[in-house]
């Protein structure tokens, strides 16, 4: 029993091709998500480039728990709990900045930016038992990093970050990062922030949904076609050869590489004609060699969810933060590429701004859909949401991942499969990672 309610069997609420609406509206389910998904597993916290200098910090959260990501005086990235070890007062009140010390305003205790307790006011009233080394800011139990992407886990035990990500995810991260000839991102361009009145899972589902763009973003696509002649609706048509892809562990992607490969010659011809394009192409070839540079440029980044809260789309890093069962905050960090002409980065920013942010032409469309979803969930005559598109046509790709057509709901099914796995576990550790999903006839592998 929990809060007077019987423990749910999630097998009754999450099927292979549908999910019960209660999973978006039940406050007890939401609290269990925080505990099992956000407070036990690996969660994306931030990028190391956001805090490039000693003393740089950013206040953020893991789930709903306040933490500080800071680069200490030795240059190491630290994840510290934003809680004084005396009486639990938050020691950091601003979103970002630079400091050598964090000071608790309640009773004046001060902490170095590596978390060590530096000073205690009126120390004479403590006995000999008191040792400052025992009262530093508590560190997030586990921290891991992959090429600047910083992850944290509030559980001291569990699978490693390497196991959580898996090789397919790391390959996609490499494609995103290696668009820089120096192999490094600049994440200091700024932030777009927005919130919506609906469940957090609508954002991660939508981010990996190739079925909705031609309808939700019809006006944006029409404007692009009028201005440039480009017909983007073809990317998301049921006849498109683009893919949905299950990368394992709830990580999924929309894979545009089939389309990009068909048009790679045109891209390679156009790039040198754009401002800074020739210099950029030369730098990429010098760094990666002609063949691999072409592969990276053809991929053009990635469109991927790293479960549960990190999305990479276009040029930006998207972080989803659950606030309540029906309140969500989202943060978009447009990335620049180190080692490229200024004109190339300017084009990245202008492209990002055209769709996202308060002046963008598309992102607000999605927020309207999320809130309409939450309204729709109040009608419970038929409480199920259907995720069956393409269920009978999934297939195993040559790399061992499972794929479907770009408009298929394979990505949503894969997210929910991992969600149910984690939510159904007992004990204090995250479920052990299995091998990439293998198709059987029972699982929809008929294609």
User: What is the b/e burial string over 257-275, where b = at least 16 CB atoms within 10 angstroms of the residue's CB?
Assistant: bebeeeebeeeeeebeeee
Average predicted confidence (pLDDT) for the chain:
93
**Over 90: is that where the pLDDT of 416 sits?**
yes
What are the residue boundaries of the structural domains of the chain, listed by start? 44-146, 166-443
**Sign of the four-CA dihedral 164, 200, 242, 183:** negative
> What would the mean pLDDT of 257-286 be, rounded to a whole number?
88
**Terminal-residue alpha carbon distance, the chain:** 43
**What's 44-146's CATH class?**
mainly beta
Instruction: From residue 62, give the alpha-carbon distance in Å to each of 79, 109, 236, 313.
Output: 10, 24, 34, 22
pLDDT digits (tens, 9 = 90+) for 200-220: 999 999 999 999 999 999 999
Residue 28 CB neighbours (<10 A)? 15
**Over 50: is that where the pLDDT of 113 sits?**
yes
Q: Which helix (H) or strand (E) holds 47?
A: strand 43-47
Asked whether the domain spanning 166-443 has the same topology as the one spanning 44-146, the reply is no
**Over 50: is that where the pLDDT of 428 sits?**
no
Fold of 166-443: Naphthalene 1,2-dioxygenase Alpha Subunit; Chain A, domain 1 (3.90.380)
**The predicted structure's pLDDT at residue 6:** 73
pLDDT digits (tens, 9 = 90+) for 361-407: 888 999 999 999 999 999 999 999 999 999 989 999 999 999 999 99
**The predicted structure's pLDDT at residue 263:** 82
Task: Residue 185: name the closest of 339, 30, 348 by CA.
Answer: 339
> What would the mean pLDDT of 420-436 be, rounded to a whole number?
66
pLDDT band per the 50, 70, 90 thresholds, residue 441: very low
**Over 50: is that where the pLDDT of 236 sits?**
yes
Q: Structure pTM?
A: 0.94
**The predicted structure's pLDDT at residue 433:** 43
Residues in a beta bridge with 97: 57
């Amino acid at each position: 029993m929990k809060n007077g309610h019987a423990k749910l069997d999630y097998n009754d609420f999450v099927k292979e091709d549908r999910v019960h609406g209660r999973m978006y509206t039940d406050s007890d389910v939401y609290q269990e998500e925080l505990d099992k998904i956000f407070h036990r597993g690996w969660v994306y916290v931030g990028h190391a480039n956001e805090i490039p200098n000693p003393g740089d910090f950013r206040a953020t959260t893991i789930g709903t728990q306040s933490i500080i990501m800071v680069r200490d005086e030795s240059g190491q990235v630290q994840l510290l709990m934003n809680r004084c070890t005396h009486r639990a007062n938050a020691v950091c009140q601003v979103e970002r900045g630079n400091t050598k010390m964090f000071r608790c305003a309640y009773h004046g205790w001060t902490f170095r930016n590596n978390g060590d307790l530096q000073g205690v006011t009126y120390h004479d009233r403590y006995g000999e038992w008191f040792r400052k080394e025992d009262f530093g800011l508590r560190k997030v139990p586990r921290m891991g990093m992959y090429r600047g992407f910083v992850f944290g886990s509030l559980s001291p035990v569990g699978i490693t970050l390497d196991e959580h990500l898996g090789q397919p995810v790391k390959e996609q991260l490499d494609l995103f990062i290696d668009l820089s000839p120096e192999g490094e991102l600049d994440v200091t361009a700024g932030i777009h922030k927005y919130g919506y009145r609906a469940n957090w899972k609508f954002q991660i589902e939508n981010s990996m949904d190739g079925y909705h763009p031609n309808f939700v973003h019809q006006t944006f696509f029409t404007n692009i076609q009028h201005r440039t002649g480009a017909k983007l609706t073809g990317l998301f048509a049921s006849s498109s050869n683009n893919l949905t892809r299950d990368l394992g562990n709830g990580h999924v992607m929309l894979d545009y590489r089939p389309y990009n490969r068909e048009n790679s010659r045109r891209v390679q011809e156009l790039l040198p004609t754009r401002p800074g394009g020739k210099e950029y192409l030369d730098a990429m070839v010098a760094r990666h060699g002609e063949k691999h540079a072409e592969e990276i440029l053809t991929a053009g980044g990635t469109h991927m969810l790293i479960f549960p809260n990190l999305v990479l789309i276009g040029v930006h890093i998207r972080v989803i933060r659950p606030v309540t069962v029906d309140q969500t905050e989202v943060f978009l960090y447009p990335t620049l590429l180190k080692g490229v002409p200024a004109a190339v980065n300017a084009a990245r920013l202008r492209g990002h701004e055209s769709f996202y942010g308060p002046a963008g032409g598309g992102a607000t469309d999605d927020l309207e859909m999320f809130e309409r979803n939450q309204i729709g969930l109040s009608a419970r005559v038929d409480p199920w949401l259907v995720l069956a598109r393409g269920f009978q046509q999934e297939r195993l790709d040559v790399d061992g991942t499972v794929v479907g057509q770009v408009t298929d709901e394979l990505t949503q099914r894969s997210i929910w499969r991992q969600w149910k796995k984690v939510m159904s576990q007992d004990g204090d550790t995250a479920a052990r990672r299995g091998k990439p999903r293998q198709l059987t006839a029972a699982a929809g592998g008929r294609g």
